[in-house]
A = this chain, B = another copy of it.
Amino acid sequence: MKKILIAYRLHPEGLKDLEGKYEIVLPQEKSYFTKEEVTSIIHDFEVFVPNFSFYTDKNIIDKATKLELISNYGVGYNNIDVNYATEKGITVTNIPNSTREPTAEFAFALLLAAGRRIGYYDRKLRTPKGVSWGVYAECGLPVYGKTLGIIGMGRIGQSLARRAVASGMNIIYHNRNRLDTSIEQTYNAHYVSFDELLCTADYISLNAPSTPETYHLIGEKEFNKMKPTAVFINTARGNMVNEKALAKALKNEQIWAAALDVFENEPHILPELLELDNVVLAPHAATKTMEDRIAMSIEMAQNIVGFYEGTFAISRVN
């Protein structure tokens, strides 16, 4: 019986496909295993479901002498040294289906919250000073009729575009590869250069994967190109944005607002950001509903079953 090490205490509801056929070890008394704990026991396992709070690096992989499969509990896999896993003949899978709609939903929720100042109003109304109810006081920015620039027009980007189009937005996008005309037509989406997107979009959403090439993709130079009324949304990965440059752009009102679900050093958030009124902050919660988290477990478990038994299609990363 293959042995699976799961670094999170995942709900049994999402692991039913593995029951009776695999031996599962997961944390019993706390919510996740530390890097040290994983490192000390991984030699015994064929399958590993890694954590997002530490990097599954060469050191861990070297210890994992029996490892055949890393089944990631996430769509992004910047928490794994995939190249080294490949070198060692270890398959890596991820979960693009169950994460697609919740993440696009959360990105759009953040977009609306930042533009229409939902977070700001909700916070300020609870303070003694409150908010002005005057006709023009403390206005937000419209979303309807505005242009959304999507950086990374994969599944999540397209699901976001679907919502945005129905909300009256125009879509421009930048991607490693231009999409098929039929997909572009679905969203009436226009392919533009990275620079043109930065210069012309009213709302800019980051939906690309985190790779060495996209590290600090958005920094001071990029914020300088954005409109003073631009709203920047990040539900991808924190390390794709220079967080200090972002805080500066927000503080100096070089851009109008931001909404962030991800940060460079999670769960740490740059203290400057916590002080700013023109940012909406969330704790990496794009897929944070019980239903979605269980659906993610099911997809993750089915990648394992599919890998060994061929009964489910699996999403390979390498």
Given contacts A122-B123, A142-B289, contact A167 B31 (CB under 8 A): no
Across the interface, which residues of B come within 8 angstroms of A165, CB to CB?
A: 166
Residue in chain B with minimal CB distance to A120: B122
List A residues 271-318 near B (Cβ within 8 Å).
274, 280-285, 288-293
Q: Is the CB of A283 within 8 A of B166?
A: no
In the complex, which of the residues B130, B134, B280 contacts A122, with contact meaning CB atoms closer than 8 Å? Answer: B280
Q: Is the CB of B31 within 8 A of A105?
A: no
- Whether A77 is near chain B, meaning CB under 8 Å from some CB there, is no
- Whether A8 is near chain B, meaning CB under 8 Å from some CB there, is yes
Give the B-binding residues of A (Cβ under 8 A): 8-11, 31-32, 101-102, 105-106, 108-110, 112-113, 116-119, 121-123, 125-126, 130-144, 162-163, 165-168, 266-267, 269, 274, 280-285, 288-293
Across the interface, which residues of B come within 8 angstroms of A291, CB to CB?
A: 142
Q: Is the CB of A289 within 8 A of B140?
A: yes
Q: Is the CB of A105 within 8 A of B144?
A: yes
Query: How long is the Cα–Cα vector from A142 to B109 in the complex, in angstroms?
Result: 12
In the complex, which of the residues B8, B122, B266, B293 contacts A282, with contact meaning CB atoms closer than 8 Å? Answer: B122
Q: Is the CB of B166 within 8 A of A166?
A: yes
Nearest Cβ on chain B to A299's Cβ, whole angstroms: 15
Given contacts A113-B109, A140-B289, A292-B142, contact A118 B163 (CB under 8 A): no
Residue in chain B with minimal CB distance to A285: B121
Q: Is the CB of A142 within 8 A of B282?
A: no
Q: Is the CB of B119 within 8 A of A119?
A: yes
Q: Is the CB of B126 within 8 A of A274?
A: yes
Residue in chain B with minimal CB distance to A113: B118
Query: How long is the Cα–Cα vector from A162 to B166 in the complex, in angstroms?
Result: 6
What are 10 sample pairs from A and B whose C-beta atoms fall under 8 A apart?
A11-B136, A105-B116, A108-B167, A112-B113, A121-B282, A122-B122, A122-B280, A125-B281, A133-B267, A140-B288
Query: How long is the Cα–Cα vector from A283 to B102 in the complex, in angstroms?
Result: 28
Nearest Cβ on chain B to A272's Cβ, whole angstroms: 12
Most chain B CB within a 10 A radius of its CB, from A135, A269, A284, A293:
A135
Nearest Cβ on chain B to A74's Cβ, whole angstroms: 11
Query: How long is the Cα–Cα vector from A267 to B121 in the complex, in angstroms?
Result: 13
